[in-house]
Amino acid sequence: MQAALPALDDHRSDPMPPDQVRIAIIGLGYVGLPLAASFGKRYRVVGFDIDAQRVDELKRFHDRTLEASEAELRAATGLSFSCDPADLDGCNVFIVTVPTPIDAYKRPDLRPLESASRTVGRAIRKGGVAIYESTVYPGATEEVCVPIVERESGLTFNVDFYAGYSPERINPGDHQHRLETIMKVTSGSTPEVADFVDALYASIITAGTHKTSSIRVAESAKVIENIQRDVNIALINELALIFHRLGIDTHEVLAASGTKWNFLPFKPGLVGGHCIGVDPYYLTHKAQQIGYHPDVILAGRRINDGMGQHVAQCTIKEMTRRGLPTANAKILVLGLAFKENCPDLRNTRVVDILDELRSYHVEVDVHDPWVDAHLAHEEYGLRMTDAPAEGVYDAVILAVAHREFAALGAEGIRRFGKPGAVLFDVKALLPREAVDGRL
């Protein structure tokens, strides 16, 4: 039997039992939808999104992100979907799962979070709890979001309503590490609310929960998870740049070093997506606000942001070395998503390869069987190639290790190129001897 959730404050003698919990999930993307589906198996849940088309698709049990199957959505019998804020009436737990991107100047863009907070503020009632999962810098929940909820609701924080923070740990395209099987960090604005938030998540997370002493600690834990990976990948990317100049294969070096028991298994590559390539800028923004310049974090970001340019330049140099013309050459880029076997285009760094190639006045075609062509055009102004012709390209860049490309193998991929065309393998998906260059 599911345990009752604890009381929210000292003024309530009875806990809020599961049959009184009504949850609103604000934002139904890669994070919000799996959360809504999981909670919807146990509680009454309203999944809310401002995208009416997205809501209509979900009502038909179709998830374009491929994170939730039709069977999983149908199993969430307590879940309903809406784009009408009026349907949030009666909810007493609001979980915000909207994106937290950066702007053109690599500064935190909190507009989606602020908008979601206004939506929560207009719907929350006395005794309600607003829980945030979006990645932010330490202090943002209580300094940015809570004042908006207060202003919109007319309620007083930690008297009339409460807050929690439980950072998302969704890994798009990963069907082994799922929401329920990843330990959840939790926190609350009072000790009682922290207990409530922890128990709420513990009711669906089989891997367990880790309750922190404050919201700021939970915010910090989330942002450094991705910074640690970013900095480590940056180190390997810098080593790849050095070894390239020395004529040494980076992956062979890593294989040798990896024979030591405590060598960390990071590989060179493009660092995109909604987390690793974005989250560091949230902490560096806050650090600079308090007068500290984060040298290591920003240096890692500069290295990782330059890898797409490096890939393009290596390809062009190899073409030149072979006597292939570069002006008006045709190059095929295989893959646009930010990672393999996933349709997610958010902050994909493949676009950096495309931008650099175009500076050499080459014609670039992009093919990705996972990506929605309409979305690619909407987000990046790209017109995808559905079926690349064989024997027409001067170079092929394997940018994303989709299983469809692995199935083609080096021989199948080379068929797209002319005789003597360059094949560059960003992900080291193919054998070393089968390609002309790799990171």
Q: Summarize pLDDT for 133-169 with one digit per residue, the tens.
A: 999 999 999 999 999 999 999 999 999 999 999 999 9
Virtual CA dihedral for 346, 347, 348, 353, nearest 10 degrees? Answer: 150
**Cα–Cα distance for residue pair 268/250, rounded to 1 Å:** 8
**Cα–Cα distance for residue pair 130/171, rounded to 1 Å:** 24
* 18-213 and 306-438 in the same fold: yes
This prediction's pTM: 0.91
Is residue 362 within 8 Å of 331, Cβ to Cβ?
yes
Domain boundaries, the chain: 18-213, 306-438
* pLDDT cut 90: percent of the chain above it: 90
CA distances from 210 to 187, 258, 385, 420, 437 (A): 9, 31, 46, 56, 44
Q: What confidence score (pLDDT) does residue 11 get?
A: 46
Class of domain 18-213: alpha beta
Give the number of residues written for the chain: 439
Average pLDDT over residues 239-258: 97
The encoded tokens of residue 22 equal 């009504």
Q: What confidence score (pLDDT) does residue 6 get?
A: 61
Using pLDDT thresholds of 50, 70 and 90, give the confidence band for residue 4.
Answer: low
Q: Is 314 labeled as catalytic in the residue annotation? A: no
CA distances from 73 to 19, 40, 246 (A): 20, 9, 53
Q: What confidence score (pLDDT) does residue 177 get?
A: 82
Using pLDDT thresholds of 50, 70 and 90, give the confidence band for residue 274.
Answer: confident
Using pLDDT thresholds of 50, 70 and 90, give the confidence band for residue 12.
Answer: very low
Residue 62 has pLDDT above 90, yes or no: yes
**Cα–Cα distance for residue pair 378/398, rounded to 1 Å:** 23
Q: Which of 83, 91, 145, 275 is catalytic?
A: 275
Average pLDDT over residues 367-393: 94
Q: What is the pLDDT of residues 171-220, one digit of tens each?
A: 877 777 889 999 999 999 999 999 999 999 999 999 999 999 999 999 99
Q: What sign does the CA torsion over 294, 300, 302, 305 have?
A: negative
CA distances from 421 to 58, 167, 321, 355, 437 (A): 44, 46, 12, 21, 12
**Cα–Cα distance for residue pair 334/398, rounded to 1 Å:** 5
3.10.290.10, 3.30.750.24, 3.40.50.720, 3.40.50.300: CATH of 306-438: 3.40.50.720
Instruction: Give the Cα-Cα-Cα angle 29, 114, 379 (nearest 5 degrees).
Output: 45
Q: What confidence score (pLDDT) does residue 16 get?
A: 63
Q: What is the pLDDT of residues 73-98, one digit of tens each?
A: 999 999 999 999 999 999 999 999 99
Residue 378 has pLDDT above 70, yes or no: yes
Residues 6+ apart with CB under 8 A from 324: 394, 395, 420, 421, 422
Average pLDDT over residues 356-360: 95
* Mean pLDDT, rounded, of the chain: 93
